[in-house]
Structure 1
Amino acid sequence: MKVTTEIWGSIPLLHIHNEETKKDAPIVIFLHGFESAKEHNLHYAYQLVQHGCRVILPDAHLHGERDEKLDEVEISLRFWEIVLTSIEEVNALKQELEKRSYLTDQKIALAGTSMGGIATLGCLTIYPWIDAAAILMGTPGYVELAKAQIASVEQKGFKVPLSADERTNMFDTLSNFDASRHPDNLIKTPLFFWHGEKDLVVPYEPTAKFIASLRKQYDKQNIVLMNEKSAGHAVSRKGMLASMEWLANSLA
């Protein structure tokens, strides 16, 4: 497996392939989780490359090479800034793939863990070019999650530096990327969800309800939910292998 460190525009990333990867190989952009970094997710890339894919693994805003040494509270308060930046940068990465002649008419997918899965769902609400997506520990309800995060911070005794109007504006902005409010935009895309039922960071139940609603309202069959009853906020090896195999097969 070849792993090269590159900067596309202002985005540091790992470009992962091997000697057998074809120029027109299907492409996966993989988005890492909160307080993680690109190099911590190479095991996902390895599985995809073994299945014939080319993988782009960027550092998220304020993460990895883009770290600004923020403390836990400071970076937590900028969570949604990071998510929205990732959504914007996914499109920039697609344009770079086209400029570099890696993306012509083959398929392209997104995948992500936790914060990366949340960003992936946001991308699905606005980018029609995504051919498949794997969402690991992600949740579609941006507004619901943001309100829960603010309540959690305040319960711990911290003051959230947002006025009532600023909170309203924030929720209005997030609603534009909230997949639970724009389910029509996801109905044609094959989706794989993995989630632990004991996840205390990104709760399982909203995701399960969203998937059930998609299946019922749109008779959507091209959706997989792999839930593990004893798992918390960490993807199991079984989940990692199954999701990456599914994703690669969806792009074949």
Structure 2
Amino acid sequence: MIIRTEQWQHIPLLHVVEESKEHEHIPVVFFYHGFTSAKEHNLHYAYNLAKQGIRVILPEAMLHGDRAESLDDFHLALRFWEIVLASIQEASVLYEQLRERNLADDHTKIGMGGTSMGGITTFGCLASYDWIDAASVMMGSPAFVRVATGQIAYAERGGRELPILQAERDQLFAALDRVDLSKNPAKLHQRPLFMWHGEQDTVVPFEFTEEFHTMIQPQYKECPEHLYWMPDEEAGHAVSRPGMLGAVDWLAQHLNAR
């Protein structure tokens, strides 16, 4: 198995693939890390995908890992949604790079996945791009506007004065609204979707994901096998091994299908 550190345009990433399949047009998964994490922290997902014949691209999110700047946790958190929106935009750069590097063509199946902030990014990409064929989301939320509203309210209740002008706040919420999949569930187009979430999660609200699953079930009435919901009543904000394996196997099953 090959693990390469690469840079596609301005984006640092890890490229993981079985050596024998390096130059083939095999299915590809873009997998996104969480907040304050880094690309290499998801190598266990990449390994388990690559050994099932899938090329895995692990991008570095803005202000993280190799792209980190001298920001404390509070000021990094202030830029959380800027980071998410940047990752959603950069997904199109990665997709075009994939094709320019002759690692994919019109018939190559593309998957996406991520944990926490990476799961949120994945939901935003599903709302933005129709070239994604299947997705696995762990501890993510599709309800961008509701989550952002809750984050701001929580900070202000704690006595924090947020250095954000009202015009900037309005601009942010307008941008989030455009990629809020909970407000645009029809954009899923019945694509295979796996969701794992711990019921004891105190970081990303479990109930928003559960509500979303309930809301989209009618969409999948004709293809219920394309939707898998895996709540974990004991878990908090950490993916269990069954959740990780379930997410990986879901992507492999749907991307390797003829």
- Shorter chain as denominator, the TM-score bin is over 0.9
The 1-side partners of 2:164 and 2:10 are apart by: 29
Structure 2 partner of 1:74 = 75
Equivalent residues of 1:5, 1:15 under 8 A apart: yes
Shift of 1:170: 1.5
Query: Mean Cα displacement is larger for which, 91-100 or 163-172?
Result: 163-172
Structure 2 partner of 1:230 = 234
Structure 2 partner of 1:117 = 119
Q: How does 1:26-37 map to 2 (within 5 A)?
A: 26-37=27-38
Q: Which amino acid aligns with 2:56?
A: V
1:197 maps to 2:203:
no
Q: How does 1:108-187 map to 2 (within 5 A)?
A: 108-187=110-189
Report the CA distance shift for 1:100/1:143 in structure 2 as closer, same or farther (over 3 A): same
Query: Mean Cα displacement is larger for which, 44-53 or 181-190?
Result: 181-190
1:240 maps to 2:241:
no
Deviations 1:4-40 (A, max 9, x none): 1001100000000122325111000000000000111
Q: Which amino acid aligns with 1:43?
A: H
Shift of 1:151: 1.1
Of 204, 210, 213, which aligns to 2:212? 210
Q: CA-atom RMSD, angstroms?
A: 1.1
Equivalent residues of 2:190, 2:220 under 8 A apart: no
So what's the TM-score if we normalise by structure 2? 0.95
- Segments of structure 2 that go 5 or more residues without pairing to the other structure are none
Q: Which runs of 4+ in 1 moved over 4 A?
A: none
1:57 maps to 2:54:
no
Query: Mean Cα displacement is larger for which, 213-222 or 27-36?
Result: 213-222
Shift of 1:172: 1.3
Equivalent residues of 1:187, 1:214 under 8 A apart: no
Deviations 1:184-234 (A, max 9, x none): 101321100000000000011110111111003553621101111000000
The 2-side partners of 1:228 and 1:211 are apart by: 14
Structure 1 partner of 2:4 = 4
Structure 1 partner of 2:87 = 86
Shift of 1:165: 3.1
SS in 2 for 1:129: coil
Equivalent residues of 2:3, 2:17 under 8 A apart: yes
SS in 2 for 1:87: helix
1:14 maps to 2:36:
no
So what's the TM-score if we normalise by structure 1? 0.97
Q: Which amino acid aligns with 1:171?
A: F
The 1-side partners of 2:169 and 2:39 are apart by: 31
The 2-side partners of 1:98 and 1:164 are apart by: 41
Equivalent residues of 1:33, 1:116 under 8 A apart: yes
- Segments of structure 1 that go 5 or more residues without pairing to the other structure are none
Structure 2 partner of 1:107 = 109
Equivalent residues of 2:115, 2:140 under 8 A apart: yes
Equivalent pairs: percent with the same residue?
Answer: 50
